[in-house]
Amino acid sequence: MGRVHAGVYRNLGVELVGAYDPDQERLGAFAAEFSLAALDSYEELIEGVDVVDICAPTYVHEQLAVQAFAAGKDVILEKPIALTPESARRIIDAEQRSGRRLFVAMVVRFFPQYRSAADLARGDKLGGLGVVRLKRVLFPPGPGWYRDPEKSGGMPVDLMIHDLDYARWLLGEPVRVFARRSPRLEDGAHEHVQAVLEFASGAIAHVEGGWAYPPGYFRTSLDIAGDRGLVEWSSDAPQPVETLFPKDAPAPAVGLPLAGLEENPYETELRHALLALELGGPFDVTPADALAALELALAVRESADTGRVVEVA
Amino acid sequence: MRIGILSFAHLHAEGYLANLRRIPGVEIIGFSDADTERSKRIAQKYGVRWFWTHEDLIAAGPDAVIVTSENARHRELVQLAAGARVHVLCEKPIATTTEDALAMKTAVEEAGVKFMTAFPMRFSPAVQAAREMVRSGALGQVLAVVGVNHSENPKHHRSWFVDKELAGGGATMDHTVHLADLYRWMFGVEVGEVTAAISNPFDAEVEVDTAGLLLLKLENGVPASIDASWSRPSNYPRWGHLKMEIVGQKGSLLLDAFAGHLHVWRGAGGRGYEWAGFHPDPNQGMIESFVSSLRAGRQPPVSWNDGFEAMRVALAAYRSAAEGAPVSPADL
pLDDT of residue B278: 87
Instruction: Please say if the pLDDT value at position A261 is more than 80.
Output: no
User: Which residues have CB under 8 Å from B206's CB, separation 6+?
Assistant: B155, B162, B170, B200
What's the number of domains chain A is made of? 2
Instruction: Enumerate the β-bridge partners of residue B248.
Output: B142
Indicate whether A222 and A129 sit together in one domain: yes
Q: Which pLDDT band, with edges at 50, 70 and 90, does A35 fall under?
A: very high
> A230 to chain B: which residues are within 8 Å by CB?
231-233, 236
> A130 to chain B: which residues are within 8 Å by CB?
199, 201-202, 210-211, 229, 231
Of A75, A107, A139, the position where a domain reaches its end is A107
Q: Do A230 and B227 touch (CB under 8 A)?
A: no
> A225 to chain B: which residues are within 8 Å by CB?
150, 202, 229, 231-233
Cβ-contact A174, A313 below 8 angstroms? yes
Say what angle helices A287-306 and A85-98 make with each other, to 10 degrees.
Answer: 170
> What is the three-class DSSP state of B255?
strand
Q: What is the mean pLDDT of residues A15-37?
A: 95
Indicate whether A144 and A211 sit together in one domain: yes
Chain B interface includes A182 (CB < 8 A): yes
Instruction: Please give the Cα distance from B130 to B123 (Å, whole number).
Output: 12
Indicate whether A228 and A290 sit together in one domain: yes
Closest CA relative to residue A182, chosen from B224, B217, B143 = B143
Indicate whether A91 and A130 sit together in one domain: no
CA atoms within 13 A on the CB side of B184: 24
pLDDT per residue over A135-150, tens digit each? 999 999 988 999 999 9
Strands A218-226 and B252-256: unpaired
> B251 to chain A: which residues are within 8 Å by CB?
214
Amino acid type, A295: E
pLDDT of residue A125: 82
Do the domain assignments include residue A281? no
Chain A interface includes B229 (CB < 8 A): yes
Give B96→chain A minimum CA distance, Å: 24
Indicate whether A101 and A213 sit together in one domain: no
pLDDT per residue over A199-248, tens digit each? 999 999 999 999 999 998 999 999 999 999 999 999 998 776 676 777 77
Chain B interface includes A203 (CB < 8 A): yes
Q: DSSP secondary-structure letter at A157?
A: I
Mean pLDDT by groups of 10 residues along chain B of 332 residues: 97 95 96 95 96 97 98 98 98 98 98 98 94 93 97 94 97 98 98 98 97 98 98 94 95 93 75 84 96 97 98 98 97 94
Closest CA relative to residue B90, chosen from B296, B308, B332 = B308
How many interface pairs between A and B have CB atoms less than 8 angstroms apart?
A: 125
Taking domain B2-113, whether its CATH number is 1.10.287.4070 is answered by no
Instruction: Please give the Cα distance from B264 to B32 (Å, whole number).
Output: 35
Indicate whether A53 and A164 sit together in one domain: no
Closest CA relative to residue B5, chosen from B82, B81, B98 = B81
pLDDT of residue A67: 98
Indicate whether A246 and A153 sit together in one domain: yes
Indicate whether A297 and A190 sit together in one domain: yes
Q: Do B141 and A183 touch (CB under 8 A)?
A: yes
Indicate whether A200 and A298 sit together in one domain: yes
pLDDT of residue A255: 42
Chain A interface includes B225 (CB < 8 A): yes
CATH number of the domain at A192, please: 3.30.360.10
Do the domain assignments include residue A273? no
Q: Which domain holds residue A240?
A: 111-257+286-311
Closest CA relative to residue B216, chosen from B111, B142, B273 = B142
Q: Do B202 and A181 touch (CB under 8 A)?
A: no
Chain B interface includes A234 (CB < 8 A): no
Chain A interface includes B141 (CB < 8 A): yes
Backbone Cα Rg of chain B = 20
Whether cis (ω within 30° of 0) applies to the bond prior to B93 is: yes
In a mutagenesis test of the B interface, which of A182, A207, A223, A236 is the best target, namely the one with the most B β-carbons within 10 Å? A182
pLDDT of residue A263: 75
pLDDT of residue A242: 72
For chain B, give every domain's residue range: 2-113, 122-282+311-331
Cβ-contact B76, B56 below 8 angstroms? no
Indicate whether A79 and A187 sit together in one domain: no
Cβ-contact B223, B245 below 8 angstroms? no
Indicate whether A69 and A208 sit together in one domain: no
For B210, the closest chain A residue by CA position comes to A130
pLDDT of residue B267: 67
Q: Do A131 and B200 touch (CB under 8 A)?
A: no
Instruction: Please give the Cα distance from A134 to B290 (Å, whole number).
Output: 39
CATH number of the domain at A78, please: 3.40.50.720
Do the domain assignments include residue A263? no
**Backbone angle region of B173, left / alpha / beta, with phi > 0 → left and psi within -120 to 50 → alpha:** alpha
Do the domain assignments include residue A170? yes
For A227, the closest chain B residue by CA position comes to B202
Instruction: Please say if the pLDDT value at position A77 is more than 80.
Output: yes
Strand arrangement of the beta sheet that strand B64-67 belongs to = B50-51, B27-32, B2-6, B64-67, B87-90, B115-117
Concatenate the DSSP letters of all residues of B193-251 into one string: EEEEEEE--S-TT-SS-SEEEEEEEETTS-EEEEE----S-TTSSSSB--EEEEEESS-
pTM of the full structure? 0.91
In a mutagenesis test of the B interface, which of A120, A125, A126, A131 is the best target, namely the one with the most B β-carbons within 10 Å? A131
Instruction: Please give the Cα distance from A247 to A29 (Å, whole number).
Output: 35
In B31-163, which residue ranges form alpha helices assigned H by DSSP? 36-46, 54-59, 74-83, 98-111, 125-136
Instruction: Please give the Cα distance from B169 to B70 (Å, whole number).
Output: 12
Of A54, A74, A107, the position where a domain reaches its end is A107
* CATH superfamily membership of B122-282+311-331: Dihydrodipicolinate Reductase; domain 2 (3.30.360.10)
Q: Do B232 and A217 touch (CB under 8 A)?
A: no
* Most distant CA pair in chain B, distance: 57
Amino acid type, B231: S
Instruction: Please say if the pLDDT value at position A254 is more than 70.
Output: no
pLDDT of residue B131: 95
Instruction: Please give the Cα distance from B5 to B22 (Å, whole number).
Output: 16
User: Which residues have CB under 8 Å from A164's CB, separation 6+?
Assistant: A195, A197, A207, A293, A296, A297, A300
- In chain A, where do the E strands start and end? 18-19, 37-38, 51-54, 74-78, 102-105, 129-138, 176-181, 191-198, 204-211, 218-226, 230-234, 310-311
Do the domain assignments include residue A298? yes
> A223 to chain B: which residues are within 8 Å by CB?
231
This complex has an ipTM of 0.85
Going B88 to B287 to B116 to B163, the CA torsion angle's sign is: negative
Instruction: Please give the Cα distance from B234 to B27 (Å, whole number).
Output: 35
Indicate whether A36 and A115 sit together in one domain: no
Q: Do B143 and A182 touch (CB under 8 A)?
A: yes
Of A107, A138, A168, the position where a domain reaches its end is A107
Do the domain assignments include residue A270? no
Chain A interface includes B210 (CB < 8 A): yes
Q: Which residue has the higher pLDDT, A113 or B267?
A: A113
Give B251→chain A minimum CA distance, Å: 6
Give B221→chain A minimum CA distance, Å: 7
> What is the three-class DSSP state of A76?
strand
